[in-house]
Amino acid sequence: MTWTPWKQAWDQALYGENGFYRQATGPAGHFSTATQGIPQIGEILARALLKLMDQQGLDTFVDMGCGRGELLEHVHRLGPHVHCIGVDVVERPELSEPIGWIRSPGGERLPDDLDGLSGTLIFANEWLDVVPCPIAEMDENGELREVLVNVASGAEQHGEVVSGPDREWCQWFWPLDRLEPGDRVEIGGTRDTAWDNLLARLASGLAVAVDYGHTIDLRPAMGTLTGFRQGRQVLPMPDGSCDLTAHVAMDSLTHDQLMDQRTALRQLGVSGQTPPHELSRSDPMAYLQGLSTASAAVALTAKGGLGDFMWAFSQSR
Ligand SMILES: C[S@@+](CC[C@H](N)C(=O)[O-])C[C@H]1O[C@@H](n2cnc3c(N)ncnc32)[C@H](O)[C@@H]1O
């Protein structure tokens, strides 16, 4: 049996030659996000992002880890003046002609031609949770050890004691003195570096990372690594058969502002307010449309759901 550190096994499973994200289905075939799944939700998000771009005077929209470009199509339709570019690991899918595309190696690696972006909003929705990171577990002697996985069976065992930059990251962001034997740490250094590398490509504008995550006061003790396949949550198997994702330590990312999605979207005018009942008589179609928009807005900002996602903003001047 060969035992591989989770980070390497995870990277190979998602971005190797036949990796999960290289398969034709695309993310939408396996799970739904704010950008795909229900079109009204993606449309509201696109409207909010266009408002943000307008406030910031930005004219280029880069969707980092854009799946098959679902959000890009909304942004393009609602803001045809905006230059839209998708970045993902596959060849350009069928998209409206003006939408640009850059193919990426995947995970923590970025494509060389994604560079020198100015006047740009980079939006990375659920990218960093699929950037593989080392996983560690506190052993019965109180030592933090890297977790190794058997790629064929998904079985795990402890490897070396965590040291070097990974240990330093924990000292700053995931205090070890609070851990009990069996507790796990998803070490965020690779996500931080991937994010910093992306910020380095932004000459001027704003970058926003959106993900399910946690901050130092609420780290998840049991670990969050999990799999998704065809709409179901499954055991994390690093064999390319499922998505592999773990929550993101959002506060360790370089940021100017950090807030939940509910707050971010409310600031951009998204509210779940239903249309006045009077409209149901005067213009029933507009009333129904208003109800559908309101329910999509509620879904995007819901407590215990998408509203709890976190937005990390980083400005570049
Ligand atoms: C969880 S999915 C989210 C897709 C989309 N943003 C959404 O909201 O539905 C993550 C996406 O990030 C892409 N991805 C991962 N690493 C990447 C990288 N370095 N460059 C570009 N895309 C990447 C994956 O291929 C996948 O499509």
pLDDT tens column, 199-227: 999 999 999 999 999 999 999 999 999 99
CA 11, CA 69: separation in Å to the nearest integer?
A: 22
- Is residue 206 in contact with ligand 1, taking CB distance under 6 Å? no
Q: What is the pLDDT of residue 1?
A: 66
- Is residue 87 in contact with ligand 1, taking CB distance under 6 Å? yes
Q: What is the pLDDT of residue 178?
A: 87
Q: What is the pLDDT of residue 32?
A: 86
Nearest residue to 85 via CA among 44, 131, 120, 53 = 120
Query: For the chain, what is the mean pLDDT?
Result: 96
Ligand 1 pocket: which of 74, 123, 127, 224 to mutate (most atoms within 8 A of CB):
127
Q: What is the pLDDT of residue 317?
A: 81
How far is CA 171 from each of CA 167, 183, 215, 288, 298, rounded to the nearest angstrom?
6, 16, 14, 53, 38
Give per-residue pLDDT as tens, 96-153.
999 999 999 999 999 999 999 999 999 999 999 999 999 999 999 999 999 999 999 9
CA angle 83, 86, 89 (to 5 degrees): 160
- Residue with the smallest CA separation from ligand 1 atom 21 is 88
Q: In this prediction, what percent of the chain has a pLDDT beyond 90?
A: 90
**Does the pLDDT at position 271 exceed 90?**
no
- Residue with the smallest CA separation from ligand 1 atom 12 is 65
Give per-residue pLDDT as tens, 1-47.
699 999 999 999 999 999 999 998 888 888 888 888 788 899 999 99
Residue with the two structure tokens 């790629």: 151
Q: What is the pLDDT of residue 288?
A: 93
For the chain, which domains are there? 13-131+186-270+304-316 (3.40.50.12710)
- Is residue 21 in contact with ligand 1, taking CB distance under 6 Å? yes
CB of 121 closer than 8 Å to CB of 205: yes
Residues 6+ positions from 201 with CB-CB distance below 8 Å: 110, 114, 115, 116, 117, 122
